[in-house]
Amino acid sequence: MTLPALINNARHKELEAGLKKNYSVIQQAFDMFFAENGYRLKADSVSKHELKPLIIKYFSVLRDCGFGAEDAESACIPAYEISNENYKGAYKTFNGSTMRLSLIDDGQFVLTDGSLILLENVEGPVYISVDVNGYNKNPNRWGHDLFTFQLTNDGKILPVGAEGTNYKSMDTYCSQSSSHIYNGVACTYKALTDKDYFNNLPK
């Protein structure tokens, strides 16, 4: 195996390990909330921007980055929309196209290991995303180092792409050829269930 291949292989193993670790960290945080409060947080029971202040203390937090679009000055990732002139394209889709940030703009905080948690919590579905190697480290792409989970109405934390989540079509939401602005959001389930997933990431 050549040196570039060895480097890529090591990086992919690091991303895979980061995903599995952070999935466990997220689940543990919600379990700790349940243990302390006697009820589970559910998507249909948290109002706009209510999730972050309820859950943040159950993580090991290095930096609180505010609420993204509404706290642009303190945000780690200013979550501007594509049409906004200030949009900087902090993240890309699975295949490297411009990604819409509207699913990660309702709460942000950096964990002590450098991982970045990004929340979507306005109306309807609630999503918890994690950049497993930090926002200052590439590739900053959905399905590569950025992965998304959905908080369901019965309190489960499911990898997006799994049955019971809102984005399940792999042809649209985890595809090397899809042009959808959410392409990559469903890759989390595939990354956790396909043993060859990280060996086949698009360039």
What is the Cα gyration radius of the chain? 16
Nearest to 23 by CA among 171, 173, 161: 161
- pLDDT at residue 69 tops 80: no
Helix, strand, or coil (residue 178): coil
Q: How far is CA 34 from the centre of its chain?
A: 22
Query: How deeply is 139 buried, as exposed, middle or buried, from its count of CB atoms within 10 A (0-12, 13-18, 19+)?
Result: middle
Per-residue pLDDT, averaged over 13-41, amounts to: 97
How far apart (Å, rounded) are the C-alpha atoms in residues 198 and 203? 12
pTM above 0.75, yes or no: yes
Binning pLDDT at 50, 70 and 90, where does residue 82 land? very low
Over 80: is that where the pLDDT of 71 sits?
A: no
Is residue 31 over pLDDT 80? yes
Question: Which stretch of 58-72, 95-109, 130-144 has the lowest confidence by average pLDDT?
Answer: 58-72
Structural domains in the chain (count): 1
**Residues forming beta bridges with residue 160, ordered by sequence position:** 162
Q: CB of 62 within 8 A of CB of 112?
A: yes
For 19, the token pair is: 């995903």
Distance spanning both ends of the chain, measured CA to CA: 18
Q: What is the mean pLDDT of the chain?
A: 90
Domain hosting 153: range is 3-200
pLDDT at 12: 84
Whether residue 18 is predicted with pLDDT greater than 70 in this model: the reply is yes
Going from the C-alpha of 23 to that of each of 45, 121, 180, 192, the distances in angstroms are: 22, 18, 25, 10
Tell me the two tokens of residue 75: 């945000």
What Å distances lie between residue 133 and 77, 88, 97, 145, 178, CA to CA?
14, 20, 20, 7, 25
